[in-house]
Amino acid sequence: MLSVTRFGIIGLAGVLLAGCSGSDSSAASAASPSSTHLAEVQKIQADITQLLDSAEGLENLEKISGRQDELFAELDAWAVEAGPEGIGAVACQVMPVVLPGLAENTPEDQAMLLGSFWYDAVWASKKADPGEDVSFEDVQLDAQMRTGCPEVRQDVLDATEVTSVDQLWDVTKAHLEATAKKS
């Protein structure tokens, strides 16, 4: 079973990042917030992939976890810099880096993983108060991606079988609530 805390799910770094490569898609040309952030995200992702592929795989778990923390910190810093009006452009550049690593999961799991992956970045872009619930609709993530990178948006929709990128967090939240009821 997948764990969906932000740092826990990506403890399954291989699920998200193995096999990904820096993408130079049309999304990179969409309202580029900061090529420095994208380069850092790609570098961290490559480091995680290399650690996963090494013979020591599981022995590298602590290193992988540390690099994942750096990945999320970079994504959050980028989101704060971009603000709610620019989070879509961030997603347009990062989704092509992340999405290929999810292909072996079910569409629902892909939606849940992406929802968890993006939640804190969306929250950070809004500079929300601690504990404030934020939805992807609050920043119009789907509308921003529809305008900035319609092909990437469609790839996300096809992979996750949702009708709007804004629904990704809803899928994650529903899973978390169902899991909480079981325990």
Percent residues over pLDDT 70 in the chain: 73
Asked whether 121 and 79 are in contact (CB, 8 A), the reply is: yes
Q: In this predicted structure, what is the pLDDT of residue 110?
A: 92
Highest mean pLDDT among 5-14, 35-44, 99-108, 121-130: 99-108
> Length of the chain in residues, anyone?
183
Mean pLDDT of the chain: 76
pLDDT in tens, 121-165: 888 887 766 667 778 888 899 999 999 999 999 999 999 999 999
Closest by CA to 109, choosing from 94, 119, 99, 97, is: 99
Q: In this predicted structure, what is the pLDDT of residue 71?
A: 81
Rounded to 5°, angle at Cα 76 from 7 and 143: 105
Which tokens in the block code for residue 121? 């970045």
Better pLDDT: 97 or 27: 97
List the end-to-end C-alpha distance of the chain, in Å, as a whole number: 14
Angstrom distance (rounded) from CA 155 to CA 173:
22
Angstrom distance (rounded) from CA 162 to CA 30:
23
pLDDT in tens, 43-64: 777 777 776 666 565 566 777 7
Q: In this predicted structure, what is the pLDDT of residue 148?
A: 95
Percent residues over pLDDT 90 in the chain: 22
Better pLDDT: 88 or 102: 88
Q: At residue 76, does pLDDT exceed 90?
A: no
Q: In this predicted structure, what is the pLDDT of residue 132?
A: 73
Q: At residue 7, does pLDDT exceed 60?
A: no
Determine the average pLDDT of the residues in 69-91.
87
Asked whether 111 and 122 are in contact (CB, 8 A), the reply is: no
